């Protein structure tokens, strides 16, 4: 349950009524269109996000007051909170990258030579980003032995944190780390479902494709940046290039929880991620690529030093156990100070016959 200080934004409807913007307050929803006017009678957050930090701050101050006194709605249907423009997935956890490197390159270096010089990432499929609660159909693809086209036997999850761009940027002009809060509206939780057997056969030499693009689930509420706790970021060695330097080297202090069929199996800590959110944004635009309102970029699997802090089943079981049809996976998060930040959930359905 959200408290009265987090105040995340989402999109909802009631009955046959129009879709509009709301804010989660404890166990209810504050209808912004009813209290702040028709500008919030929107099917997504995109228009509001594009207005920028000054407008976000003004509305948030109004919402803080309304949250104490206004009537809340309780019987609502939640919708995808924003129209996804582009989707980028990073590989920012040193622990996760090291675990997979040791698994698949036991006789070589766990980390590839580029890993500590830049946030490794790839472009995903924006059109298959789905709302929490959407069932995920087990994908089919070419796998070994064979190769043969069959249902994935190694369906996995990836516990991730995503960031949503509100204000775009100009093509040809990189966005520096210090401008992070001028562009990024807020945070969502992400489950970037992965078919490990499909991925392992197809990914050389160009990286993830069908093994990842079938579904990416996100939470229905976008948490504003100022609701997130900050802590010092891990030390980076060797020193990063100047465009990746961050004033103060801060990180978001979040603790994630991975549940399978109602049982918690892992608690990955986000504060320990090697690459931070401002660095991901700066690297994403370092070549002059522009940002668009609704861009989503995710951290990649969040994993910690301990076995019970790993953010995927391939790590938790060392490539021996994966998801079964009917499994329900839920990822939730709290701040370092213990405030709830929402959840993203999904159920696995069998592959098409």
Catalytic residues: 96
* Residue in the structure block whose two tokens are 């991901």: 280
Q: What is the DSSP letter of 206?
A: T
φ, ψ of residue 75 to 5 degrees: the values are: -105, 85
Residues in Cβ contact with 266 at an 8 Å cutoff, skipping those fewer than 6 apart: 159, 257, 258, 308, 309, 310, 311, 316
Query: What is the β-pairing status of strands 340-349 and 136-137?
Result: parallel
Question: Three-class SS of residue 50?
Answer: coil
Distance CA 347, CA 157 (A): 11
Distance CA 221, CA 340 (A): 12
Asked if the peptide bond before residue 322 counts as cis, ω within 30 degrees of 0, the response is no
- As a dihedral over the C-alpha atoms of residue 106, residue 113, residue 274, residue 265, rounded to 10 degrees, the angle is -20
- Tell which residue, 172, 287, 205, 309, has the closest CA to residue 241: 287
Distance CA 257, CA 269 (A): 9
Distance CA 284, CA 273 (A): 17
């Amino acid at each position: 349950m959200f408290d009265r200080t987090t105040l995340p934004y989402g999109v909802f409807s009631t009955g046959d009524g129009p879709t509009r913007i709301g804010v989660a307050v404890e166990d209810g929803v504050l209808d912004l269109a009813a209290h702040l006017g028709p500008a919030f009678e929107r099917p997504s957050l995109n228009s509001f996000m594009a207005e920028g930090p000054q407008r976000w701050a003004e509305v948030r101050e109004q919402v803080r007051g309304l949250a104490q006194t206004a009537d809340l709605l309780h019987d609502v249907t939640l919708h995808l909170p924003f129209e996804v423009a582009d989707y980028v997935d990073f590989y920012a956890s040193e622990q996760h990258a090291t675990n997979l490197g040791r698994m698949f390159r036991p006789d070589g270096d766990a980390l590839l030579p580029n890993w500590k010089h830049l946030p490794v990432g790839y472009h995903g499929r924006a059109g298959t980003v789905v709302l929490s609660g959407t069932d995920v159909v087990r994908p089919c693809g070419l796998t070994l032995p064979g190769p043969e086209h069959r249902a994935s036997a190694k369906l996995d999850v990836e516990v991730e944190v995503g960031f949503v761009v509100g204000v775009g940027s100009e093509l040809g002009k990189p966005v520096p780390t210090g401008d992070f809060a001028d562009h990024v509206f807020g945070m969502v939780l992400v489950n970037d479902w992965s078919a490990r057997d499909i991925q392992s056969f197809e990914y050389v030499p160009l990286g993830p494709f069908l093994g990842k693009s079938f579904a990416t689930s996100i939470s229905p509420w976008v948490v504003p940046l100022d609701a997130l706790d900050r802590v010092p970021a891990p030390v980076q060695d060797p020193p990063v290039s100047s465009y990746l330097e961050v004033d103060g080297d801060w990180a978001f202090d979040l603790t994630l929880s991975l549940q399978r069929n109602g049982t918690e199996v892992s608690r990955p800590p986000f504060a320990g991620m090697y690459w931070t959110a401002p660095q991901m944004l700066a690297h994403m635009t370092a070549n002059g690529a522009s940002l668009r309102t609704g861009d989503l970029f995710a951290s990649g699997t969040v994993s910690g030093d301990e076995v019970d802090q790993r953010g995927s089943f391939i790590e938790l079981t060392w490539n021996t156990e994966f998801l079964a049809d009917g499994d329900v996976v839920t990822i939730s998060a709290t701040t370092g100070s213990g405030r709830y930040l929402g959840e993203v959930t999904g159920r696995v359905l069998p592959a098409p016959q």
